Amino acid sequence: MQLNHSAFVTETKTDSDDQPSEYTFTVDMTKLNLDLENGTYELELFSTHELLQSSEPIVIKASYFEDINYIAGILESEATQSYLKLYFADASNHHIVPISRPTTDTK
**Domain layout of the chain by residue ranges:** 5-64
pLDDT of amino acid 70: 63
Query: Could you report the per-residue pLDDT of 48-104, keeping only the tens digit for each?
Result: 777 677 788 888 888 888 766 666 666 666 777 777 888 999 888 888 988 888 788
What would you measure as the largest C-alpha separation in the chain, in angstroms?
72
What is the pTM assigned to this prediction?
0.43
Closest CA to 29 of 68, 57, 56, 64: 64
Q: Could you tell me the end-to-end alpha-carbon distance of the chain, in angstroms, rounded to an integer?
A: 58
d(CA 28, CA 10): 7
pLDDT of amino acid 64: 85
